Amino acid sequence: MITSDQLQEVLERRDALKGYLDIDTKLIQLKEEELRTHDPHFWDDPVKAQAQMKVVQGLKHWIDDFNDIDTQANELQLAFEYIKEDLVSEEEIDALYAKAIETLADIELRNMLRNEEDKMGAVLKINAGAGGTEAQDWASMLVRMYHRWCEDQGYKVTVTNWQDGDDAGVKTVTLQVEGELAYGFLKSENGVHRLVRVSPYNAQGKRMTSFASVFVVPLVDDTIEIEINQGLMTWETFRSGGAGGQNVNKVETGVRLRYMYTDPDTGETEEIIIENTETRSQLDNRENAKRLLRSQLYDKEIQRRNKAKAAIEGSKKKIEWGSQIRSYVFDDRRVKDHRTNHQTSDVDGVMDGKISPFIKAYLMEFGGE
């Protein structure tokens, strides 16, 4: 059975969360923001209205979360008093405690995602590394892993681009993930993922190492203003097929957007290339390609801000494109994150989408920086 000190810890963490989340202020803000939605002309501007509804929903979300842990903490405290009268069992109290601790940890974790971009959706681009079929198969396994994780979180996933591998797997895939805090969680996946296994594609049954890159940026919406210079954009079209090579189009509906980006600080020029094969409509694919371009430009602005901040404060971690972040060693039954040293022997579970412990370990170590 739990001790009085464990009960006190729950109550203190509950009270601390009320202060961190500034619940009293959020309650006042919610009333004010809801009043704006009562304007008879509120939906005259749908984009502005949807942005306002997101503000309302966001406030409600945090208030409901706090009310939930507040109720659990009060129930635990009451049950702890009733144990003396044999009205509840030790097992019931332990179950209430375990539930409260889990809820606290979840809210505390999400409270760390305070940056503007953290609350947005995410765009994941997964590229197979060198190594042909083996690497392309590994990329497809990562696609499945992220699909499963997103399903568990209740996020909507759309495949906006898919290029089949030569014999199996995929060369490159772009996933659009929509849902609250999707980017805040998935930003931890940015980097190179390493697979070590006995390859089913090797006749000698040799142990092989493969790599796949995961690139994550926030998914912007119409409320985020990003300046795009139309003169720096060029378009190409090509025939596109669905995931897995299904039904190759006889018309060129796939689009490739090229954009020449110049870093305002260094003056260095970089070509951004975005391919979209999501729909059979070239017009729709063009629109979504432009949205993905805005997402990448927004991410570059975030990187500029972070770089400037790091120059002033110094940085405790090295997170950069091309860095190996995690190894998946199948025959040793081990998955290890090289940034946090968090690891598990549940390889099958990880490949089935159970990556939340890795995400949480990353955010607990680096999320507050």
**Distance between CA atoms of residues 228 and 202, nearest Å:** 47
227 alpha-carbon distance from chain centroid = 24
List the one residue out of 29, 346, 339 whose CA is nearest residue 189.
339
Question: How many other β-carbons are positioned within 10 Å of the β-carbon of residue 290?
Answer: 18
Tokens of 253: 């509906």
So what's the pLDDT on residue 322? Answer: 46
The answer to whether residues 191 and 175 touch, using CB atoms and an 8 Å cutoff, is no
**Distance between CA atoms of residues 289 and 257, nearest Å:** 7
So what's the pLDDT on residue 225? Answer: 77
> How would you classify residue 132: left for phi > 0, otherwise alpha for psi between -120 and 50, otherwise beta?
left
Query: Over the Cα atoms of the chain, what is R_g?
Result: 24
Could you report the average pLDDT of every consecutive run of 10 residues in the chain (369 residues)?
92 93 94 94 89 89 94 94 83 94 90 86 93 92 97 93 90 93 94 92 83 92 80 88 48 88 89 90 91 91 72 40 81 95 97 95 78
- Beta-carbon contacts of 35 under 8 Å, excluding residues fewer than 6 positions away, are none
pTM score? 0.75
**Distance between CA atoms of residues 172 and 168, nearest Å:** 12
So what's the pLDDT on residue 250? Answer: 52
**Distance between CA atoms of residues 364 and 14, nearest Å:** 18
**Distance between CA atoms of residues 280 and 260, nearest Å:** 27
